[in-house]
Amino acid sequence: MNQQDHTAGSRLSSTENRTADLLSRLVGCHLQSIHFNGGFVQFAFACPGSAEVPVLTCEVTPTVETPSGSLADGDPGYADAIRALIGHHVIETREIPRNGIRIVTDGAVLILRPEPDELRGPQIAMLSDFTDGDSKAWYPGSEPFEYLG
């Protein structure tokens, strides 16, 4: 949940609020590294003034929306567009009901909104490695992926 979404926060359940708050903890961090590991991609973030290095593991590859257009896994230039995000800062995060997750950087937008045929396992993504041990996993059918249920 970003600064503009605080009015919506009061309408969210405590679980939804915690999830949105956890994702919003990426705001201000910069993308430190990206690891392509067989069937999944990991994004590690460094947060200024903090020892936190949260990791977003995507079991489904996200789409990257650049000023030149959208690229999906397998498109020419996809890996280069993803790698070009290294060093860019997260300026907004959103969980959009029935429309997945958006992570907006100052260079492009990562969109995690898989189609049913893209699912490779029971989990879509997991955000973890916060210093307080907090983490969140997203599954088909759970918010904001209700359309996969």
Q: pLDDT at position 23, please?
A: 95
How far is 64 from 108, CA to CA, in rounded Å? 7
Q: What is the pLDDT of residue 20?
A: 57
Nearest in space to 61 (alpha carbons), one of 144, 135, 124: 124
User: Cα separation of 75 and 61, whole Å?
Assistant: 12
pLDDT of residue 96: 94
Q: How many CB atoms lie within 10 A of CB 59?
A: 21
Low-confidence ranges of the chain (pLDDT < 70): 1-20
- Structure confidence at residue 91 (pLDDT): 97
